[in-house]
């Protein structure tokens, strides 16, 4: 799965496109990997703007589409029982962006290196190949996404440039609004 996403690295950023090597945006990357796995897009996305600073609508189109076509993982960390919007424990700030209390692990539980080479996630949190959806502006809609690559990294389309593999830093972790998996795929 991660190898499929990495094959898109270097594809130029083109808003609303989804063509490996020719042009894509963040949603186009997810759609392209989905097509490689399942043969077709699950649905044609409606027109959308590249602006992260829009007002949030009750619909949350990106999160709604993810819930229709992707799988929400159940992940528990260190025996905790509370979960985020998609079953994944989120840092408090990310929890607020996702619209829930976020009780449970704090940011430091996700970003402190473990010292054993397993990175910020450890064994019971975000896994490689999971789809990460981000809410960049607190009161704005969730409008960015990427694919976890492991080793504290993720693959996403960088606006104005290309698909890159970058660090999943504290800044990005605090903006997670949802975590999903491709259906029918076991990593």
Average pLDDT, the chain: 79
Return d(Cα 83, Cα 139) in angstroms, integer.
Answer: 21
pLDDT given for residue 170 in this prediction: 92
DSSP, collapsed to helix, strand or coil, labels residue 58 as coil
Answer whether 31's CB lies under 8 Å from 18's CB: yes
Is the pLDDT at 152 greater than 70? The verdict is: yes
Question: What integer pLDDT is reported at residue 185 of this predicted model?
Answer: 77
The pairing of strands 23-24 and 176-180 is unpaired
Residues 147-152 have a mean pLDDT of 94
CA distances 164 to 1, 121, 123, 161, Å, are: 16, 20, 25, 9
pLDDT tens per residue, range 61-113: 999 999 999 999 875 443 333 334 444 445 555 555 455 444 433 333 343 33
Distance CA 138, CA 181 (A): 24
Distance CA 166, CA 143 (A): 18
Among 62, 38, 43, CA closest to 52: 62
pTM for the structure as a whole: 0.77
Domain boundaries, the chain: 61-180
Region 41-49: mean pLDDT is 91
Q: Is the pLDDT of residue 60 over 60?
A: yes
pLDDT for 182 beyond 60:
yes
The whole-number pLDDT of residue 19 equals: 98
Q: What is the mean pLDDT of residues 4-26?
A: 98
The per-residue pLDDT for range 29-38, each reduced to its tens digit, is 999 999 999 9
Backbone angles phi, psi at 85, to 5 degrees: -60, -30
Which residue's entry shows tokens 């509370």? 82
Arithmetic mean of pLDDT, 47-61: 80
Chain centroid to CA 163: 14
* Average pLDDT estimate for 35-56: 87
pLDDT value for 74: 72
| Percent of the chain predicted with pLDDT > 90 | 57
């Amino acid at each position: 799965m991660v190898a499929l996403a990495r094959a898109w690295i270097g594809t130029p950023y083109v808003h609303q496109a989804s063509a490996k090597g020719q042009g894509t945006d963040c949603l186009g990357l997810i759609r392209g990997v989905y097509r490689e796995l399942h043969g077709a897009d699950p649905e044609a996305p409606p027109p959308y703007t590249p602006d992260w600073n829009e007002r949030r609508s009750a619909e949350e189109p990106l999160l709604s589409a993810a819930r229709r076509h992707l799988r929400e993982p159940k992940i528990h960390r260190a025996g905790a029982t509370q979960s985020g919007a998609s079953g994944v424990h989120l840092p408090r700030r990310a929890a607020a962006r996702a619209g829930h209390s976020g009780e449970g692990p704090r940011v430091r539980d996700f970003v402190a290196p473990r010292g054993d080479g397993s990175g910020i996630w450890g064994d019971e949190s975000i896994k490689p190949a999971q789809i990460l959806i981000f809410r960049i502006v607190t009161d704005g809609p969730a409008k960015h996404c990427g694919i976890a690559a492991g080793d504290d990294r993720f693959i996403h389309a960088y606006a104005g440039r290309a698909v890159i593999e970058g660090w999943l830093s504290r800044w990005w972790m605090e903006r997670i609004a949802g975590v999903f998996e491709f259906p029918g795929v076991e990593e």
